[in-house]
Amino acid sequence: MIIIDSGIAEANKNYVATIEAWIEKSKINFTELLIVQGGEAAKTSDTVVETVLEHINTCGMCRKSVVLAIGGGAVLDAVGFATSIAHRGLQLIRMPSTTLSACDSGVGVKNGINKFGKKNFIGVFDPPLAVINDYDLLLTLDDQHWFSGMSEVIKVALVKSPALYETIKENIHAIQNRDLEVMVMLMTDSATLHLQHITEGGDPFERHEARPLDFGHWAAHKLEQLTNHTLTHGEAVSIGLAIDLQCSVHLGLLPKEVADEAIALLQQCNLPTTHPMVHDKELLAGIEEFREHLGGRLTILLLENIGKPVEVHELTESIVQQAVQSLG
Ligand SMILES: NC(=O)c1ccc[n+]([C@@H]2O[C@H](COP(=O)([O-])OP(=O)(O)OC[C@H]3O[C@@H](n4cnc5c(N)ncnc54)[C@H](O)[C@@H]3O)[C@@H](O)[C@H]2O)c1
Ligand SMILES: [Zn+2]
């Protein structure tokens, strides 16, 4: 079964016909080609999950059947959830179609949808069979979604790789000009760092405390909810990174000039680093929601320097307020 994000089908009118022609010529036993709602809407209700489950059932697919999901992170998360619960798990091939999903979520092990207004409340850890990148898919992305992926590249560079951080700085003009070759290089580095963490970090299913890949995400997930997803995940992550960089400064962990430079770098990548909702009292609830999602003792990752993360177990209202005020 092939499942395609509606955003791709709308942006590239020949795409579905090309896939259909390929199916026609292929010797593989195809059951169905589905187009499903793209964007966060794929995760905010169970419609996509139900649709995929229904088709898996009516087509008589089995555990050895393979589903190819082509789409952004939201569609990959929702389809991945459906394929991992049908018959306790079908095979999934992910083909990420956004910069964010190619550099981060596509190579991850997490699948799920939102519930009770909380991001990824329902979900499972289930690695895909394979991940395939077709970079031509990215060409139809609008600027907002093109640049959204840069926040996850900068996130992983800040936490794990001073070398990647330098590469981003050196290539800033090419990044601003949507240079595909440079974007592919950065996405490859980012995906490799994400993959290394998952495969070699000793905690692929997040049973322990440290969560480096979630730097900036306690605020990001809450901001996505508070803005009713008018911020993309990538934009919310950019603001979340700025907040946690400032929290690191106000806790006396990180030199101010390092934080200022990183925040300027996010801005140079056309990403927002503040929003009126950062001043909403509800933002703080994101800390407890983050703790609940991860389980156990609150552990938030902050920075002492580029590539030098540090874990803290408390983030007070006063520090968060100072941080968001510094962002303007
Ligand atoms: N599972 C994980 O580990 C993980 C990691 C990071 C993010 N995520 C999740 O990923 C989601 C964000 O994913 P995203 O940034 O890819 O955005 P998205 O999936 O919301 O897609 C953004 C928009 O682009 C459209 N689109 C997709 N591909 C396109 C293409 N090639 N051309 C034109 N339009 C296209 C979509 O229809 C949608 O409207 C969030 O829900 C986030 O929580 C999951
Ligand atoms: Zn993310």
Give the separation between CA 117 and CA 113, rounded to whole angstroms: 10
Strands 91-96 and 118-125: unpaired
For residue 160 and ligand 1, the question of a CB distance below 6 A is answered with no
Q: pLDDT digit string (tens) for 67-111?
A: 999 999 999 999 999 999 999 999 999 999 999 999 998 999 999
CA 140/CA 38 separation, integer angstroms: 14
**66-71 and 2-5 as β-strands: parallel, antiparallel, unpaired?**
parallel
Q: Please tell me the residue having the least CA distance from ligand 1 atom 33.
A: 141
Q: Is 80 in the pocket of ligand 1 (CB under 6 A)?
A: no
Q: What is the pLDDT of residue 325?
A: 97
What ligand 1 atom has the least distance to the C-alpha of 111? 1
Average pLDDT over residues 239-266: 98
Percentage of residues in the chain having pLDDT higher than 90: 91
Query: Which ligand number lies closest to the CA of residue 218?
Result: 2
Instruction: Specify the pLDDT at position 328.
Output: 86
Percent of all residues in the chain with a pLDDT value above 70, rounded to a whole number:
100
pLDDT digits (tens, 9 = 90+) for 192-248: 999 999 999 888 888 887 788 999 999 999 999 999 999 999 999 999 999 999 999
Q: Can you tell me the distance from the alpha carbon of 21 to that of 301, in angstroms, rounded to the nearest whole number? A: 48
Give the type of residue at 319.
Answer: I
Sign (positive/negative) of CA torsion 152, 127, 199, 208? positive
Q: How far is the CA of 173 from the centre of ligand 2 (A)?
A: 24
> Most confidently modeled of 16-30, 164-178, 208-222?
164-178
Q: Check pLDDT > 80 for residue 36.
A: yes
Name residue 230's amino acid: T
pLDDT at 17 over 80: yes
The reply to whether ligand 1 has any atom less than 6 angstroms from the CB of 94 is: no
From the alpha carbon of 149, which atom of ligand 1 is closest? 15
Distance 151 CA to ligand 2 centre (A): 8
Is 51 buried (19+), middle (13-18) or exposed (0-12) by CB count in 10 A?
middle
Q: Is the Cβ atom of 97 under 6 angstroms away from ligand 1? A: yes
Query: Band of the pLDDT at 39, cuts 50, 70, 90?
Result: very high
3-state DSSP percent of the chain in helix, strand and coil, to 5: 60, 15, 30
Q: What is the pLDDT of residue 29?
A: 85
Closest CA to 142 of 173, 97, 194: 97
Ligand 1 pocket test, pick from 3, 4, 5 with the greatest ligand atom count within 8 Å of Cβ, gives 5
Per-residue confidence (pLDDT) for residue 209, from 0 to 100: 73
Q: Which atom of ligand 1 is nearest to the CA of 80?
A: 1
Q: Which residues pair with 124 in a beta bridge?
A: 111
Structure tokens at 323: 């941080």
Average pLDDT, the chain: 96
